[in-house]
Amino acid sequence: MTDERVNSVDGADAGWAEAAAALGRDLHLELTADGGSTRGGKRAVLARALRDAVSSGRLPPGTRLPPYRSLAADLGMARNAVADAYAELVAEGWLTARQGSGTRVAERAAPPPAPDPPPAPAPRPAYDLRQGVPHTGSFPRTGWLAASRRALTAAPNDAFGPGDPRGRIELRRALAGYLARARGVRTSPERIVVTSGVAGALRLLATVPQVRSAPVAVEEYGLPHHRRILTAAGLTTLPLPVDARGADPTGLATSGAAAVLLTPAHQFPTGVALHPDRRAAAVGWAREAGGLVFEDDYDGEFRYDRQPVGAVQGLDPERVAYLGSASKSLSPALRLGWMALPAHLVDVVVAAKGEREPTVSVLEQLTLADFIESGGYDRHLRGMRQRYRRRRDQLASVLAELAPHIEVTGIAAGLHAVLRLPPGTEAAAARAAAFQCLALDPLADFRHPSATSPAPDGLVVGYAAPPDPAFPSALTALTDILPPPPW
């Protein structure tokens, strides 16, 4: 077919073009004329584009090309022009065409030069005893899959549109009920904003004008990542001392802080619960100073030797922003978190989030909503509490037997313990752990750089992640790197 037959798709071609557009697969081609000319017409331009795509390796051998009718509809070309270009490249050996197999890139096409080898990956630790890492093998695959199927079947059509930046109403309703029942949170679906996790929530809260007007107080021990988020937003962080009763809010009144970030249920990483007097004092400061409390409900679901500690948010929902996530209760791979906000912060946070920035997959939101409402979430949490308690007990038992001189603290809740070491031994223990490919965290890594209180030596040891068969060996390796007794 000659090039003069290449023309726009209109008239009688409109019907087949519409049908062809629904078939085949997408194929991106650079249809630029050689040297600015149209030498050979559109067929030749298409043939050159296909040759370039094959010779460069962008279309590797065996790649199936779209039917010529579909490609013609996508490119706005006549069917015969595309068919002729295909035939030309088949004759030249660039493509093959077989009945029932379609048109494919020929195996004889030269592959592109081999890329440079990737850098060697960092060696994986022999045992992963880092804090905050759940037992990934316990993810409730069967229950999650069933919830996903139910949620997808029941999802209304509007669930697949842009949606509410606060998150799907189904999840916000489920969370409002669950958090009230399990954590003592006083909120409503209208005050809940779904996020990608606690870190994502902090990024949003750091944009609130009230927060940006002054420093943010934080616990002197905490996640460095959270402090970096606040610092990257241009905020100054001030450390609050932490002792056996949790963070001490005494200095808030004279600090000039606009907000304070706390982990009241299970202080990270020391593991103590915030004393009732200090919970009341933090809320009292917020009321008197017009400040805000950011409550990271770290490990609030996992407690073993004590009664559940309710959320501070229940004391004053208008002064406390409650932050939670599914990172440790389910999996960090889900990237699902939430905020229960004071009423006056909802519009501000939603505006910062943006109308087109939901950040979390709607399908995962709907699945979690179903998982909560069906009781699957509660069943999973109860099962994980039993698993983690057994792990905690095993850790404590091994250390009591093999390293009785090491004090183990912070084990009434959560997924990690703090091993108190003799003064001056933390750095050596951390080096020994690295040499043994044992992944854990020195206590000093979580200390605020401006903290002035005495700094005890210690290791933060997670006990959730290792597979069951490897856990006893991990504990033996842990005892091997601990400093010997002083006697």
Fold of 3-105: Arc Repressor Mutant, subunit A (1.10.10)
Sequence-ordered list of residues with C-beta below 8 angstroms from that of 271, at least 6 positions apart, any chain: 409, 410, 411, 412, 413, 414, 416, 417, 418
Query: What are the CA-CA distances from residue 471 to residues 96, 391, 398, 408 (Å)?
Result: 55, 8, 11, 18
In the chain, ranges of CATH 1.10.10.10 domains: 3-105
In the chain, ranges of CATH 3.90.1150.10 domains: 379-481
Residue from 478, 328, 486, 309 nearest 408 by CA: 478
Strand partners, 418: 409, 460
Query: Which of the following CATH numbers is that of domain 140-374: 3.60.20.10, 3.90.1300.10, 3.40.640.10, 3.30.565.10?
Result: 3.40.640.10
375 φ/ψ sector (left φ>0, alpha ψ -120 to 50, else beta): left
Question: Model-level pTM?
Answer: 0.83
Residue from 97, 116, 118 nearest 106 by CA: 97
**pLDDT confidence of residue 124:** 82
Task: Please report the sign of the dihedral spanned by the C-alpha atoms of residue 91, residue 93, residue 99, residue 103.
Answer: negative
Fold of 379-481: Aspartate Aminotransferase, domain 1 (3.90.1150)
DSSP-based helix, strand, coil % in the chain, nearest 5: 45, 15, 40
Residue from 70, 79, 72 nearest 22 by CA: 70
**pLDDT confidence of residue 358:** 59
In the chain, ranges of CATH 3.40.640.10 domains: 140-374
Query: What dihedral do alpha carbons 208, 209, 215, 221 form, nearest 10°?
Result: 0
pLDDT per residue rounded down to tens, the chain (487 residues)? 333 333 444 444 445 445 445 555 788 887 875 544 445 688 899 999 999 888 888 888 989 999 988 888 888 888 999 999 999 999 988 999 888 778 999 986 555 567 778 887 767 888 999 998 999 999 999 999 999 999 999 999 999 988 899 999 999 999 999 999 999 999 999 999 999 999 999 999 999 999 998 999 999 999 999 999 999 999 999 999 999 999 999 999 999 999 999 999 999 999 999 999 999 999 999 999 999 999 999 888 888 887 778 999 999 999 999 999 999 999 999 999 999 999 999 999 999 998 766 578 999 999 999 999 999 999 999 999 999 999 999 999 999 999 999 999 999 999 999 999 999 999 999 999 999 899 999 999 999 999 998 999 999 999 999 999 999 999 999 999 999 987 6
Burial of 456: CB neighbours in 10 Å, binned 0-12, 13-18, 19+: middle
Distance in angstroms (rounded) separating the CA atoms of residues 160 and 119? 40
